Amino acid sequence: MSAANNVLQVAGMSLDLGGRAILRNISLDLGRGEFLGIIGPNGGGKTSFLRLLVGLLQPTSGKLQWTSVASPTPRIGYVPQKTMIEAHYPLSSIEVVRQGGEGGWPVFGARRKRLFQRSEQLLTRVGLVEQMQTRVVDLSGGQQRRLLLARALMNDPEILLLDEPTAGVDTRGQEQFCEIVHELSRQGITVVLVSHDIPLITKYADRIACISGGVHWHGAACDLDDKIVHAAYSCELERYQTRREIEPPHVHDAGHSHGHDHDHGHNHH
Amino acid sequence: MFESITSFAEYDFMRRALLAGLFLAVTCGLLSPFVVLRRLSFSADGLAHASLGGLALGIFALNLGPNPTLPAYIISFLFTCVVAAAMAYISGQRRISSDTAVGVCYLAAFSLGVVLLSWKNRASGHLEHFFFGSILAVNPLEVWLLAGLALLTTLFVLRCWRWLGSWTFDEDLARVTRVPTFFLRYGLMLLVAATVVLSTRVVGVLIVTALLIIPGVIGMLWGRTMAKIVVLSLASAITSAITGLVASNSSGRIQPGPIIVLVGFLLFVASLILTRWQEHRQPVPVGPAPAPEPKAVPIALKR
């Protein structure tokens, strides 16, 4: 990956929370339009890593720098692992999506019309236009995830950070979600997706980083094998199947659009 | 009934009561949806009770009679802010939940108020006024202060309109979209503190809590957009205040404060029944809704 095409540089970054070391010496680059999948065991620091990227946590040491973006603080779309939506939350789906735009003042006239049109477009894009007047709490888990994705896109993000967006979603919902994200990545949006679903993540991501206190391994998705997964998760994963088992390495689409140069994995341990 | 309405034009104290009620209704009607949606109802209740301690401290320190002056209100406001900060600090301790922290702090502040007012013999007979208020005895200073607060609240809600909506949904998501959540949190709590301090003597501790909760809940029962929720909250707060004042004046015996709350409660019950009936007629589909395939047509995501 050329330095000019980088959007993120993380060098020697560590995070301590409440006196406990959560992440140690993380170094990672991210290219424009790249789809990075993050895997790792529970408590390994994946969510903390995303919260660092999004600015909700500050690193204890090391460097985290956004580069080659329009401003020093890039526009980030974020879909968290959990939201605080309660059963009585009254707002409709389209109202929640509209909230994703920037600005504090109420909008009127042409700006209001644009805001409304954009929120409808995004709901159409994620397949929820039929549910736009439905209360957000009445949507299914998978629909809520797609709604949060539409909300994250309201801000025209350059970077999209998704924390286990497919957890608890049925297979069809997972595929739908990842197809949308994959298309966004092809349009030039940089995507970082955290998931435990290794077959799914290896199917869509360009590169995988395995985080367990630090970057245990990172490399091209096609280079992930069961030894790496086994070492990171410290357990047998019987249902795990790598892309290498689905398709031999030479079949991998060499012309895949993002042009990263991490063709080989880098084992940090 | 007609005489009761015309009396508002005839007597200065009636006009002041009407204006105080209206300004308070505007303030509470605007704040209520955000207090309820951010789950601050109990904190608002706690601050309302704590403000009694502040007011008693002001009356005691300045050696006043039962009518507080501007310095007494300032002392009360500062005291209530200190209690709010204590609630936030204790809530931040891992071993104590936020509702426990609110309970501990407000009970201490409230008890301090009762002790100080009882100690100061001449005020002790008016304790009831601090629970249910005496809106008909509102003085011009209090009307001006309530007008200023209503204006400040309107400006705050307008300036932060879209931020407030985003903040009610999820604080982390709001922060990511550069919503100044720190300013919203403390701005809202300061406005709630100022509201309860000014209202304690005008409508009383119990009534101001009700006005900060019930209108927002009514708005939430009907509205699916933030604008509709706030407009309905405002309308129900103003309706409760005016109806309560007119009904109290007609009866000639009952304090307006409790009637204001009862009118609000009736509006709440009617809203609950009607919205349930409406939902029953148009049931929400049970189980996973048919998920249409995402449209294949790509849309330009960059403007």
Residue A242: phi, psi to the nearest 5?
-85, 165
Taking CA atoms, B81 is separated from A219, B85, B159, B255, B267, in Å, by 53, 6, 23, 29, 32
- Evaluate if residue A235 carries a pLDDT over 70: no
What's the start-to-end Cα distance of chain A, in Å? 23
Contact A136, A85 (CB under 8 A): yes
Contact B201, B85 (CB under 8 A): no
pTM of the model: 0.80
Q: What is the pLDDT of residues B156-168, one digit of tens each?
A: 999 999 899 888 8
- Evaluate if residue A30 carries a pLDDT over 50: yes
The residue of chain A nearest to residue B286, with distances taken between CA atoms, is A138
Number of A/B CB contacts below 8 angstroms equals 122
- Element at B88 (helix H, strand E): helix B70-91
- Evaluate if residue B125 carries a pLDDT over 90: no
Q: What is the pLDDT of residues A52-85, one digit of tens each?
A: 888 888 888 888 888 765 666 778 888 887 776 7
Contact A76 B176 (CB under 8 A): yes
pLDDT at site B65? 67
Contact A103 B162 (CB under 8 A): yes
Q: B138 to chain A nearest CA, in Å? A: 35
* Residue matched to tokens 């509702």: B99
- Name the band, by pLDDT with cuts 50, 70 and 90, for residue B220: very high
CA A165 – CA B290 distance, rounded (Å): 20
Q: How far is CA A209 from the centre of its chain?
A: 12
Taking CB atoms and an 8 Å cutoff, what residues of chain A touch B289? 130-131, 134, 139-140, 143
Task: Report the greatest alpha carbon distance in chain B.
Answer: 78
Specify the length of chain B in residues: 303
CA A159 – CA A166 distance, rounded (Å): 18
Structure tokens belonging to residue B196: 């309860």
pLDDT at site B129? 67
- Evaluate if residue A257 carries a pLDDT over 70: no
Contact A104 B159 (CB under 8 A): yes
B296 touches chain A (CB under 8 A): no
**What residue spans of A32-140 are helical by DSSP H?**
46-54, 93-98, 109-125
For helices B41-61 and B205-222, the axis angle rounded to 10 degrees is 160
Q: What is the pLDDT of residues B166-202, one digit of tens each?
A: 888 888 888 888 889 888 988 898 899 889 888 877 7
Q: A35 to chain B nearest CA, in Å? A: 17
Query: What is the predicted ipTM?
Result: 0.75
* Residue matched to tokens 């159409």: A124
Structure tokens belonging to residue B258: 């409790």
